[in-house]
Structure 1
Amino acid sequence: MSGHSKWNNIKRKKEKTDSQRAKIFTKIGREIAVAVKEGGSGDPNVNSRLKDVIAKAKQNNVPNDNIERIIKKASGEGNSDNFESIQYEGYGPCGVAVIVETLTDNRNRTAGDLRHYFDKFGGNLGTPGCVSFMFQKKGVLVIEKEGREEDQVMEDALEAGASDFQADEDVFEIQTEPEDFSGVRDDLAAKGYEFVSAEVEQVPDTYSRIEDADLAVKMGKLLEMLEDNDDVQAVWHNWENPDEDEA
């Protein structure tokens, strides 16, 4: 669950979810539990955040039984899980901007882990706000091109309230304002569209390249370590074309 709204990163992310389904299920489960507690309800019809997380869970093939079990546990009076949402910011090699979104029950442990990863791979953990000004929150929906007419998809997206539409080599990418994301997703889903990826992302204004092969490897390892940490929910960065840089 990382990267930016470039299709090569979506593919990289998809490959990771295929190989790490159990870890993805755990992270989304934690997100569902927090959505239930903070939204004050286990009913997605009255808890919009929970509705969004359930859609994300289904997109990642989390079984309905798992979703229902997590909601039931989080709604119970005896549930003592207490996670807080903390965003960390820092720099990778060559000044690549990195935002790390976490849900943690121990902020000291999480901060220590993240600082260790950044230091180990040639970066540094920064202060709040040091890179977030370089990103904009956008709803991003990605639809495979195969079997779809570009003009029709664009028309449907704009009618649903999308703010931007782009056609890449393999996919259509639709952007929305964060507050419009759920409505656009639901409208397109009702018209039969399925999404390769659909979530509110931190989209960078500009991108950075890493020309040095060794530093590119370090950047890739930094992202892997961050993504593998149980407390980390999402990692956003402005490294351009990481798959090509790593090759």
Structure 2
Amino acid sequence: MADSEAAAAMAHSFAQEYFQIPVVTRAYTTACVLTTAAVQLEVITPFQLYFNPDLIIRRYQIWRLITSFLFFGSLGFSFVFNIIFLYRYCRMLEEGCFRGRTADFVFMFLFGGIVMTLFGLFANVFFLGQAFIIMLVYVWSRRHPLIRMNFFGLLNFQAPFLPWVLMGFSLLLGNSIVVDLLGISVGHMYYFLEDVFPNQPGGRKLLMTPELLRAMFDQPEDPDYRPLHEEQQGGDLQQDD
């Protein structure tokens, strides 16, 4: 009886913490975990998920436009590494500079996804999720240029160098850096169009969030909402005070 009550209390606590995660971060992270679980359980295969323009256009397999952003490989170090970075930086963006602006955050997702898909037509990239994470990291790092980072206790650097450090890490692991460069390029495009160009002489805001998204996602801020503090440490990548 005591064990069942403890299990119920634990499940209730987990549910509370889960629903404290902001909605976009919660939805995207959950979709990535469930997709990987479905592959591990052999409910689906990666061949049904990867980005293939020919199958999308000629066989109308439209779902590949989404699933190519949801799969990070089988369970292992690479998957855990990507999920940690996705959760951490997506949440910090959503609770930080996009707090109370869910529609703008969703629009950034759409912008990044569409541009990456267009680049993917020429880059021969099968899965775009890692590039999307690099885009999120890039935008966060450019908006927090003074934060000091520590990578695996080996490197200390300012936040804007983080995407390049991750690219170097991919290179050391023997992975292609095309995906990293794609994420950095799209992240810089968004950052330039949203943060730089509108503040230039003669510049103006080009990225306008559709009113439909605002009607769907922007709600009054919950006063009981508990943000994830940006100084919180996660994994082996830490922020120095």
Considering the TM-score relative to the shorter chain, is it more than 0.5? no
Higher RCO (Cα < 8 Å, 6 or more apart): 1
Normalized per residue, which structure has more helix? 2
Normalising by the residue count of structure 2, what TM-score does the alignment of the two structures yield? 0.30
Instruction: Give the greater-gyration-radius structure (CA).
Output: 2
